[in-house]
Amino acid sequence: MPTEIKNAKIACLDFNLNKFRLQLGIQVLVDDPKNIEKIRQKECDVLKQRITKIIQAGANVILTSMGIDDLASKYMTEAGCIGLRRVNKGDLARIAKLTGATVISTMATPEGEEVFDPSYLGECDEVVEEAVGDNDFVFFKGCKKSTACTIILRGANEYMLDEVERYFSN
């Protein structure tokens, strides 16, 4: 996946981007073993359609509070998108507020279709993954709706960081 996106359009999702699976308690009876492969292919197609709809709406950064499987990552990489999985729900809400995005828990409409509207997307000037010390962080720069600042503190140990926090909180 790319590590930098300029003019980012951000989709904030609260659902899995894994291969579609039927809910618990639903059984599919197959008479012909050849149809099993068709069912597996349809599961992959549902995932591809979901990601395609999100990307066609203009998203080039996709955040989800749940998982992204390898197949979904492949589709995102081919489209030149960044995908971040298992984003804390609190962080997802903050990013949505800063960028003007809407956190979406489902793409389903009352008619039974799946739709992703471009109005759900947030914007910022740049999303970039950078290494700070031994860790990689993703920075959202130039957010459109609000201003925020993050300070990253590094220290020799946790006690040093606790002291810095205590000093600045007074």
Query: Rounded to whole angstroms, how far apart are CA atoms 20 and 46?
Result: 6
Specify the number of domains making up the chain: 1
pTM over 0.75: yes
- pLDDT value at position 5? 92
Q: Which residue range(s) make up the domain with 151?
A: 4-169
Q: Give, in degrees to the nearest 5, the angle at Cα 36 between 32 and 41.
A: 140
Q: Give per-residue pLDDT as tens, 100-156.
A: 999 999 888 888 888 889 999 999 999 999 988 888 889 998 887 777 777 777 778
In this structure, are residues 141 and 125 in contact, taking their beta carbons and an 8 Å threshold?
yes
Residue 66 has pLDDT above 70, yes or no: yes
| Residue 17, beta-bridge partner list | 68
Nearest to 95 by CA among 55, 59, 145: 145
CATH of the domain at 148: 3.50.7.10
